[in-house]
Structure 1
Amino acid sequence: MIDIKALQCWVALVQNHSFSATAEKLALSQPSVSKIIHTLENELNVALLYKGENGRKRLVQPTEIGQRVYDRSQQILNQVNLLQQEVADYRKLKSGTLRIGMSLLGSRLLTPVFFRFHQQCPDIELAFIESGTRDIEAALLDNRLDAGQLLLPVSDEFNHIPLCDYPLMVLFPRKRLANIPESISLRSLRDESFILFSRGFALYERIVNACRDQGFEPNVVCCTSQWELLRDMVEKEIGIALLPRYYTDDFDSKVFAAVPLTDPAINWRLSMAWPRHKKLTPALKAWLNVVRQEFAQ
């Protein structure tokens, strides 16, 4: 197998036209340079340098095949340099892509993180996949994502950083309630029409299962993956919705009434998760550090 150092020595010899000058440039002894070139010739089974008269002394002049080896060696060494630079850039966060899975409700939480991460690592491309937490979990395990938002609790296959813990609120049109109660039990909603997130989403499953635990099957009139559409449908009196307080706090209190859900209370607890046994890339380490800083506040 040809040694990269042998190619470096050959290129330096051709460029310097001298064994002694090459030895000085490479911080080697002259016999060492001669030995490296001799070994390279044996590896390739060709003469790289013309021999002097009577074959007693080699001239520092490449043979025809020696010139070809020189040209090709330069190309190989250029590629090696590019590879080393690419690895160095990667380790210094100057290149690469970070794949983040965002839940359909949770992307808004990450806006400050995106901003701070871009400030610290402007050359790292962020690639987003927005989906339900079930799909994000599968993509993490299949290595299609580096990190992603999952509802707590997460399985033992993941490490995670907690992001939020907000109670679900029952969202009504404001004009329906003359007096807003302090809380509403889930059982009292058995006759209501529900507008829920799409089937297959973890939050959908939690709400439906909680209703069944209370002895009724919810009357689901619509499912959507867009919280804005869900809010607008409540305003049109199509049904009620259950949304995290993180969102309902921003709704117009003249249009909507948001009442804490109790008995049972259901909380929206989101985390940033990644596979427990995944080797962390420099970009992923930087991302998780920013997440920790942001959500420790």
Structure 2
Amino acid sequence: MEIRHLEYLMEVARHKSFSKAAEVTHISQPTISKAIKDLEAELGKTLFYRSTKYVELTDAGEAILEQAQQIVASFRNIHAQLDGLEKLQTGKVHIGLPPLTAVTAFSHMLGAFKSHFPKIHIQLYEYGPKQIEASLQEGLLDFGIFTPEDSDLFEWIWFEQDPHRIMMHPTHPLAKRGHVDYADLKGEQLIIYNSYYKLHDQIINGCKRAGFIPEIAFETTQRELMTQMVTAKLGLALLPSKICKDFDPEIIAVRPFSDSQLFLELALTWKRNRYLSHAARRFLAFVSDSVPGQI
């Protein structure tokens, strides 16, 4: 049984004629007659008395007509609601983003999106990048902000690439240097990303390539805690340049770091072949337009 069969039933009952029902529905009379016969066969009941002058509903037809009207009305209401969703631009988008990383460009995009689509709610979840990746795979998030690598699992749009700077107390000897490299970090107390970040492993491996095991004072996901420990002279920290540019040089000294591969690279990422709601697809289209040439 299909919705169109019920719609044909309603039209034949309304016009008491197969030919008029066919005319109204813009199909041939044999097609509508066959549809009604198929419906009768499926239900095992005769739905219409047929004569050369008119057709009329049987008792079974009357009972089926009442149900058909409700079913068709509900089906049309579904379409009306979906059309309303499209026109009203409503819905919810679930996005995971790391609490520590610089998302300046993404923050601007979020603000612009909300101004264009105020009825679409953005729900943000602060997770580490590895947890974001796992949540995307489990279908718990629509999008994640991190550095994706597996194109078989994910699709993405790049929107941020930010080199790291090293920050320290202004009285630290390295503050007199024009730049700092891994070798300069030997014997220093480091405050770095925790193990939920791939940058954590990059920093440690960079130190190992320079011939030493780094001394880790603290691992954290909290940017404020990281900067407070630097101002308290408890260690050196590495953060993206867009975060570092806001520091008062009288309180925190910032210097370039020599590792050109140590940069924050962020993408709006989603699971390949995952169903995206209308709201999520609208958000994806907006970001795509904001970062041209990325898809």
User: Normalised by the size of structure 2, how large is the TM-score?
Assistant: 0.80
Match of 1:102 among 97, 103, 126: 97
Aligned residues: 291
How far residue 60 of structure 1 moved from its aligned partner, in angstroms, is 2.5
Q: Which residue of 1 aligns with 2:242?
A: 246
1:218 and 2:217 equivalent? no
Q: Which residue of 2 aligns with 1:72?
A: 67
Q: How does 1:5-44 map to 2 (within 5 A)?
A: 5-16=4-15, 19=18, 21-28=20-27, 33-44=32-43
Q: Which residue of 2 aligns with 1:273?
A: 269
Higher mean C-alpha displacement, 130-139 vs 200-209: 130-139
Q: Structure 1, residues 167-221: CA drift from partner, whole Å, max 9, x if none?
A: 2211112244696321122222222211112223211111111112212222212
Distance 1:226 1:210, change over 3 A: same
Distance 1:107 1:160, change over 3 A: same
Distance 1:189 1:10, change over 3 A: same
1:134 and 2:133 equivalent? no
Whether the 8 Å CA contact 2:136–2:143 is kept in 1: the answer is: yes
Unaligned 5+ residue runs, structure 1?
Answer: none
Q: How does 1:167-246 map to 2 (within 5 A)?
A: 167-176=163-172, 180-246=176-242
Secondary structure at 1:211 match in 2: helix
Higher mean C-alpha displacement, 254-263 vs 97-106: 97-106
RMSD value, Cα: 3.4
- Give me the whole-angstrom Cα distance separating, in 2, the residues matched to 1:231 and 1:15: 76
- Give me the whole-angstrom Cα distance separating, in 1, the residues matched to 2:240 and 2:166: 9
Q: Structure 1, residues 114-154: CA drift from partner, whole Å, max 9, x if none?
A: 123334444544333322222222333344333322237x2
Q: Which residue of 2 aligns with 1:145?
A: 141
Distance 1:283 1:93, change over 3 A: farther
Whether the 8 Å CA contact 1:180–1:259 is kept in 2: the answer is: no
Q: Counterpart of 1:73 in structure 2: which amino acid? A: A
How far residue 257 of structure 1 moved from its aligned partner, in angstroms, is 0.5
User: Normalised by the size of structure 1, how large is the TM-score?
Assistant: 0.80
- Give me the whole-angstrom Cα distance separating, in 2, the residues matched to 1:112 and 1:264: 26
Whether the 8 Å CA contact 1:174–1:253 is kept in 2: the answer is: yes
Distance 1:93 1:117, change over 3 A: farther
- Between the aligned residues of both structures, percent identity stands at 27
Whether the 8 Å CA contact 1:159–1:275 is kept in 2: the answer is: yes
Unaligned 5+ residue runs, structure 2?
Answer: none
Secondary structure at 2:177 match in 1: coil
Whether the 8 Å CA contact 1:132–1:202 is kept in 2: the answer is: no
